[in-house]
Structure 1
Amino acid sequence: MKTVEQVTAINQVSEYPQIEQTLWTELGSNEVMRLHCNETAFDIPQNLKQQLVNKMLNVAWNRYPDFHQTQLHALIAKEAGVATENIVLGNGSSQLIQQIVNCCSKFLSEAIIENPTFTVYHQMCQNERMPYKNWHISEENAFNLSTFPQVTEPSLIILTSPNNPTGASLPLTTLKTLLNQHPGCVFMVDEAYGEFGGESALPLVNEYANLLVLKTLSKGYGLPGIRFGYAAGNASLINLIKKHTIPFTINVFTELVVTDFLTNPLYSNVVKAHQARVKNLRDFVSYLLDEMADETSFSVLPSAANFILLRFHDAGLLEQIKQVLSARNIMVGYPVAQCLRLTIGTEVEMNTVLRLIKYEIRQHKASADELASIQVTQEMV
């Protein structure tokens, strides 16, 4: 019997010597493989977790957090390279997205959202009864300015870099062009996957008064469980957004973990090692998948994130792969029609998926050849 999570998932070279040494071990067939949420597969070592737990014992659990989060604001501002008045903190970037859309819906008439993209943006706009237009992201030229929707009134323009689910990175030159063309619009650039690749727009915050940049510790830092994110922007814009929040969005335990992660070199070293490991695996897996791909089966989209999107040209092959992954308790994403999104997991997990895909391609091709042979024989008769 499948779990609710599984059913949901179903419906919706020398540079790599260490990877090559560990890729060829098979994963146990009874384990559930979580390759659908774009999580980082590598957790924090137990000894570092224990240090954090020990520090939590000294925190007053019976007291409210600092209302202004003064120390945490200062720490995040230093990390982002801006002043403290340019920062607003949030309970993960999703809460900040809701807060920003709620705020902007009061004085902006519509939104422009990439397509495809993270579905939360559409949901938040619908909740606020804010109409929106789609900017269609193509495979060949992801952020094509010639296809950018016409802006008739000041709007909230929601961009992502790297984009989820395509993995495409937004060039800063393209962003600057849009910022200069639409000074009356508010731009929100979500960089949830920014630690895995692409150019960050954070340095532009001091240059453009209408720019907001969202960051989170859920992806590149591998800490989705602690729920922490922040937005950087012009002080006047940040103050306006702060009026649309509730108090105490950051609890004392989250503040403790974030503070340690950004100030303790031990955590910093672990996070950097995990990020490098994910990026190396992503590039190596993309290379191997690209070798399997052709114009009749599927194509591999370039990715600057911690996932890879495969676009299938053969619906039968995609369905065959869906079934075998489901049977093996491997949860992947299907965010776009005829596409499969594969989160980068461990070396063992990647090996298992690659072997299954390669095997199914061979089986599918063999079946197609056999069918073609039968048809030829029938025609000759």
Structure 2
Amino acid sequence: MKTLANLTAIENQLHQLLETDKPIKLNCNESPFDLPQTLKDTITSKMAELSWNRYPDFQQTDLVELLAHSVGLKNENILLGNGSSQLIQQIINCCSKFVSEVIIENPTFTLYHQICQNERLNYKEWHLNENGSFCIENFPTVSEPSIVIITSPNNPTGAVLPKNELETLLQTYPECIFLVDEAYGEFANESSIELIHKYSNLLVLKTFSKGFGLPSMRFGYVAGSKILIDLLRKHTIPFTINVFSELIVRESLTNNSFSRIIKTNQERIKNLRDFSCYELSEIADKTTFSVNTSQSNFLLLRFNDTSLLNEIKEIFAAKNITVSFPITDCIRITIGTEVEMSKVLKIIKQCVNSFKVSCQEAILNTLSVY
């Protein structure tokens, strides 16, 4: 009886949480799971022991070595940055001096277009399939040398470019520099970083903002051949990584408790993503919407009826649920906590059911006229 009472109390608590309108932020592809306070306390106590009055190590030698070892590369293959956005700026700025154009898939992270425009660098778009997947047959004509930027998993579709297709492109265009942005790579089934051993024209961009759940820290790195990394290093400003970020990165890679928390959160997000995708696929059809299979920490819903989309938008806004709208007639939903995703799924299901009833009533009313 005590167990039954406990279960009832938990169910009531969950119901109350689902009914409240506490703000739910599902628009920035952040992890919904913060670090435990005890771990934060341990790390901040180590921060207090650092010399705050001294510059960081300019070369970040120890941290580079640690990261290189973690991905099976050498120190010469790694360049650190203040988040992947800073590295994107640095890479395009550096390459704009000698490339003729940039190839960017469509849709993708809009920062690439912005930086190309700032650099007055022409770009062509590689259009993805209607379902958001990559199609190598659609790859545009390239004037070598060029930069080819590939976000894999793609934002906002969640699709991944298969490694064998990436190799085909690398071999076909050896004079092009390929930048593979794996910002969401920890949620995918494979990484292209091992191809750096085979292809000198490949750069792979990584960040701790998504899979590691540490966007506030602003840390990323790019991996590539020695010749490319040496070139990029000439365009590096001093001291891009502060001592506090360095400490947290080192802890995340060497502290077993920290590492377990990160892996657990990644698996938790992937399970929630797959469950949510399944639930949405069960109610989706040609009259309502479709949902992309995703290897990232978000789902993209493409709506076939504007009125249904607008209704869901209005209810989300009324319930303080923030999502993003990166493409016309689409909603991108970052994977949140179990409670948050339950609330989102409940709203979408209710809206779809109401929409289908309205459609049936409209059909019956039309038939009754005749």
Residue 213 (structure 1) aligns with: 204
**8 Å Cα contact 2:189-2:295 kept in structure 1:** yes
- Structure 1 residue corresponding to 2:309, chosen from 305, 318, 322: 318
Cα displacement (A) at 1:269: 0.5
1:46 aligns with 2:54: no
Residue 8 (structure 1) aligns with: none
Residue 303 (structure 1) aligns with: 294
- Structure 1 residue corresponding to 2:261, chosen from 254, 270, 287: 270
2:197 counterpart SS class: coil
1:164-313 equivalences under 5 Å are 164-313=155-304
TM-score, normalised by the number of residues in structure 2:
0.94
Q: After superposition, what is the alpha-carbon deviation per residue over 1:80-131, rounded to whole angstroms, capped at 9, x for unaligned?
A: 2111011100001010000000001011010000100011111111111111
Cα displacement (A) at 1:376: 3.4
C-alpha spacing 1:145/1:339, structure 2 compared with 1 (3 Å): same
1:57 aligns with 2:48: yes
1:343 aligns with 2:328: no
1:32 aligns with 2:23: yes
Greater relative contact order (Cα 8 A, min sep 6): structure 1 or 2?
Answer: 1
1:124 aligns with 2:82: no
Q: Which moved more, 1:25-34 or 1:45-54?
A: 25-34
Residue 348 (structure 2) aligns with: 357
**8 Å Cα contact 1:214-1:229 kept in structure 2:** yes
Cα displacement (A) at 1:243: 1.2
Amino acid at match of 2:56: P
C-alpha separation between the residues in 1 aligned to 2:19 and 2:214?
26
**8 Å Cα contact 1:22-1:347 kept in structure 2:** no
**8 Å Cα contact 1:23-1:347 kept in structure 2:** no
C-alpha separation between the residues in 1 aligned to 2:344 and 2:364?
30
Cα displacement (A) at 1:141: 7.5
Q: After superposition, what is the alpha-carbon deviation per residue over 1:32-79, rounded to whole angstroms, capped at 9, x for unaligned?
A: 101111111011100000001100111111111111111111111111
**8 Å Cα contact 2:132-2:292 kept in structure 1:** no
Cα displacement (A) at 1:373: 3.2
Q: Which moved more, 1:184-193 or 1:147-156?
A: 147-156
**8 Å Cα contact 1:111-1:130 kept in structure 2:** yes
C-alpha separation between the residues in 2 aligned to 1:240 and 1:167?
31
Cα displacement (A) at 1:156: 0.3
C-alpha separation between the residues in 1 aligned to 2:232 and 2:152?
22
User: Aligned residues, how many?
Assistant: 359
C-alpha separation between the residues in 1 aligned to 2:12 and 2:202?
43
Residue 143 (structure 1) aligns with: 134
Residue 160 (structure 1) aligns with: 151
**8 Å Cα contact 2:132-2:157 kept in structure 1:** no
Residue 107 (structure 1) aligns with: 98
Cα displacement (A) at 1:23: 11
Residue 85 (structure 1) aligns with: 76
Structure 2's unaligned 5+ residue stretches are 1-10
Give identity over the alignment, percent. Answer: 56
C-alpha separation between the residues in 2 aligned to 1:178 and 1:313?
34
1:205 counterpart SS class: helix
1:232 counterpart SS class: strand
1:89 counterpart SS class: strand
Amino acid at match of 2:243: V
Residue 4 (structure 2) aligns with: none
- Structure 2 residue corresponding to 1:95, chosen from 82, 86, 90: 86
Q: Which moved more, 1:88-97 or 1:367-376?
A: 367-376
C-alpha separation between the residues in 2 aligned to 1:288 and 1:371?
27
